[in-house]
Structure 1
């Protein structure tokens, strides 16, 4: 089971969704890192919530200059996607969660530029979103990119509706765990990734079910639990 550092490795000097948190995750030799991206004013901004603490306005209401001026508690600005890609390179899987609509085309442009300029393929990139329409755009523009639909509930026809996306993995909440779900996903040829599991009891259950990857806020503890075994990127 892969260890995916959820929003990097957060700590007193490494707030979540910062380059410091990403660098801390890389230092742990995790299998993957997950970050959140909002698309506004023609670029991506790496943060989780749609409301910035203390602003009392949504990110969507802020100008480009106001967004550029935001600072995390450690003083970092909101990271742009090219900077993130250059930091991680292909050292581990990188799960980019698209939080809002409209950014899929720009995402593909940035990824294509990155691969062209660095010679690093996008094999290690996974694009996830609750907005499956964004994943469909990625599929059309960059069919080789790994896609991971996020689902927080289980409608009766979820498997059939997701097949059109030809996903790499299906990412479900830890609250939805049941043996038949993992078997059903894997029988269709997809990986099953689970978010966000932070206890040893959760990890034991995920392993017993044969889940492929776990998003966790406690990457160091999960790495220790798993015996610090590194999984290959496939």
Structure 2
């Protein structure tokens, strides 16, 4: 299993091609990324009922005028919630797939639902894989939670999958025990979950664990690049980038 060649042909717009007047992960940002020819990185959270929604946060408050967990609202309710940054309401994965229709590659991150990057996963991964059944475009799945990646291996073994990785500082991962964070820094699950790439935090690309995978020929993607200077530095190691805030 390998990433398609399209994953190296153009950079990936982080949460689609969003601006001050066009919210991240919105349908309008998706349209803008497609029109510009960029790949699209997007995030998945579940609705109440398990529908995969294209939305980054666990809570609605940063990106909408509502409060509370996205997982406590039905897909129908979420469809009526406007994104405060503009660009429409909260889309489902199915809506995004219909809009993209294979024109650019999709890098889909399934957000951890266990809370501690542990084994309580499955329903969201099944729903995502079901939504992708029959999709004709190039797509890959990834997650910070290796158990989520393993679930994708079980439910859709034909879809390329990778692990989203970083140094796991305590301030960014307060619900994850230190022994788990220490273990994950070494990217120990890569072979177990039959991953074919990683997407690593850009300012930690010098990690020896990244270097070890790179030496094996493993593609290294990175997140999130915000300036041309950051891009030039990252591309010395990374095979492709995820960017926002400028045109890569």
- What is the TM-score when the length of structure 1 is the normalising length? 0.81
Q: Structure 2 vs 1, CA of residues 56 and 160 (structure 1 numbering), >3 Å: closer, same or farther?
A: closer
Aligned length: 212
Q: Quick check: 1:171–1:194 contact (8 Å CA) kept in 2? A: yes
Looking at both structures, which has the greater relative contact order when contacts are Cα pairs under 8 Å and sequence separation is at least 6?
1
Structure 1 unaligned regions, length at least 5 = 223-234
Contact 1:196 1:217 in 2 (8 A): yes
Equivalent of residue 46 in structure 1, options 26, 46, 54: 54
Judged with a 3 Å threshold, the aligned counterparts in structure 2 of structure 1 residues 137 and 179 are, in CA distance, closer, same or farther, namely closer
CA distance in 1, matches of 2:106, 2:76: 28
Equivalent position SS for 1:208? coil
The 1:159/1:189 distance shift into structure 2, 3 A limit, reads farther
C-alpha RMSD over aligned residues = 2.2
Are residue 167 (structure 1) and residue 174 (structure 2) matched?
Answer: no
**DSSP 3-state at the match of 1:48:** coil
How many Å separate the matches in 1 of 2:11 and 2:245? 9
Structure 2: tracts of 5 or more residues without a match: 1-7, 114-122, 169-181
- Report the more deviating stretch, 61-70 or 183-192: 61-70
> Which has a greater percent of helix?
1
Which of 85, 97, 100 is the equivalent residue of 2:112? 100
| Correspondences of 1:32-181 after superposition (within 5 Å) | 32-40=39-47, 41-53=49-61, 54-73=65-84, 74=86, 76-101=88-113, 102-112=123-133, 114-115=134-135, 120=136, 124-153=138-167, 155=182, 158-178=186-206, 180-181=208-209
